[in-house]
Amino acid sequence: MTSWSRLSFLALLVLQETVLAEYVRTKKSTIAPVGAEVLTVGVIGDYGWTGWTPSPPHFCLEVLPELKAAGLVIPNEVLNDCDPGDILYITNATALQLDTSSYVGQVCAVKNCTAFVSVGDNFYDSGVDFTTGGIQRFQEAWVGMYSQGVFESAPWYQCLGNHDIVKGQSGVDFQTKVAPIYDPRWNFGTQGLPYWTYDLTGKDWTATFVVVDSDCFLSSYQLNTSVYVNPYTQACYADRQTQIDFLANTFAQSTATWKFLQLHHGYMSSATNETDLAPLVEIVIQHNGVVLNGHDHCLAHYYSNNTNFILSGAAGYPQAGDCNYGIPLGPYAKFLGANPISAANGFVTMDISKQYINVEYYVRDMQFEDGDLYPVPYDLNPSYSFQITEHAT
C-alpha cells in the first residue's frame, strides 16, 4: 500500500468508527423499565456452551503435538478449542445450559425479572468474532437460547469473560459493536468499549453499574504460555489504569443509592482469589458498593472487607471444585452452592428498592433420567438469600 492509500485507509477506519459509534448511540436498545418501586434483575454467568464444536480428536491428540514439535506457532483459538476438560464437558454442558435457561425463565416468570445482568463467558470456548461462524454461534447460543417467555423482551447488560477475549480485538468488537445492532436486547454501551456504565432507575432509587473487563487485570494472562495473551489483552493490561479511573470517576460522580462493580473474575473465591483485582475492589470498598462476578462455575456469597461479593457462574457447566466442594475456606464464605460430588446450576436474583436489595440464590434441582446431580426439594424457592441495607456512598 502506498503511504497515501494507507493514510486514506486509516482515515476511512476512523470515519467508520465514528459513524458506528453514532449509529449505536442513536439506535434504540431494549432497556429495563424506569420508575419501579421494586425492580427484579437476574444475575447470570458462564453460560454460552451451545454450538461450540471442538476440533477433532485426531487433530488435538496427534497432529497438534507434532505441529508444536515442528516449532509452528499455533493460534490461541486453536489451542483453546483442544482444551481436554472442555471437550469432556461439551455434551453435558450444552444440555445443562438449555435446562438452566428454562429454569431461569420459570423462576423469572414468577419473580417478574425485567433485566439480566451478565458476568461473562458468553461464548465458549473461544468467543465469537465477526465471521459467519461467529454470527451463527451468536444466533444459536444466545439469540435463540434466550428467546422465550421473560427472555423475549428482557434486556441483558453485558460483560466479557476470559472465553470472550481469546480471539482478541475482533471478539471484543463483535460483542461490543455488532451484537447490540444484531439484537436490541444486547446492551454493551454506546462507545464500542469493553468497559461501560449504566444506571437502573426506580421510583425513589438509582443503581449505578460499572462493567469492566477483568481479563485486562490478570498478570497470569500476560504470560507467553497463556491462551489469553494477544494484542488486545497486552494493550489493555498496559492501560488498566484507564479502567480503574473509569470506575473511580463513575462511582465518584454517581449519587446512586446502590453501586455495583460487574466483572468476570472473583477477587474473593473458593478456587483462586484474583488479588490482581485489588485496585478495583478498593474503589468498591470506598463507595460501600457490591461486587458481581462469575468465572467460578457455581453460586456463592462471600463477605469480606465489609463488602458483599455475589458469585453467579452456574448457568452452564457447574463445577464443585470451584466452590471447594461446599466446604468454606474461611468465615468469608457465607454460602456455597456445591457438595462433595457436584455443584448446582442456577442464578441469582436481586430485588432492588430504596430500602434494601433482596438477594436470592436460585439453585436448580438437577434431575436427569438416571438420578439427580443436585437434589433441591422445591427449586422455585431460593436456596439461600440475604439483604443489603447499607446504601452506597
Which residues contact ligand NAG by CB under 6 A? Answer: 33, 36, 39, 88-89, 92, 112, 114, 224, 269-273, 278, 281-282, 285, 305, 329-330, 332, 368
CB of residue 137 to ligand NAG, shortest distance in Å: 22
Joined grid coordinates for residue 93:
454442558
Contact between 266 and 290 under an 8 Å Cβ cutoff? The reply is: no
CB of residue 324 to ligand NAG, shortest distance in Å: 7
**Residue with C-alpha cell 436448580?**
364
Query: Is residue 310 within a helix (H) or strand (E), and if so which, with residue range?
Result: strand 307-312
**Number of CB atoms found within 10 A of residue 156's CB:** 22
d(CA 361, CA 370) in angstroms, rounded, equals: 26
d(CA 260, CA 386) in angstroms, rounded, equals: 16
Residue 172 vs 248, nearer CB to ligand NAG? 248
CB of residue 15 to ligand NAG, shortest distance in Å: 37
Residue 78 vs 285, nearer CB to ligand NAG? 285
Residue 92 vs 339, nearer CB to ligand NAG? 92
**Residue with C-alpha cell 455434551?**
91
* Residue in the shown chain whose Cβ atom is closest to ligand NAG: 36
Asked if omega into 125 is within 30° of 0 (cis), the reply is yes
d(CA 141, CA 97) in angstroms, rounded, equals: 9
CB of residue 89 to ligand NAG, shortest distance in Å: 6
Residue 13 vs 88, nearer CB to ligand NAG? 88
What is the CA angle 171-237-141, rounded to 5?
25
CB of residue 348 to ligand NAG, shortest distance in Å: 18
Residue 11 vs 88, nearer CB to ligand NAG? 88
CB of residue 5 to ligand NAG, shortest distance in Å: 34
Residue 215 vs 351, nearer CB to ligand NAG? 351
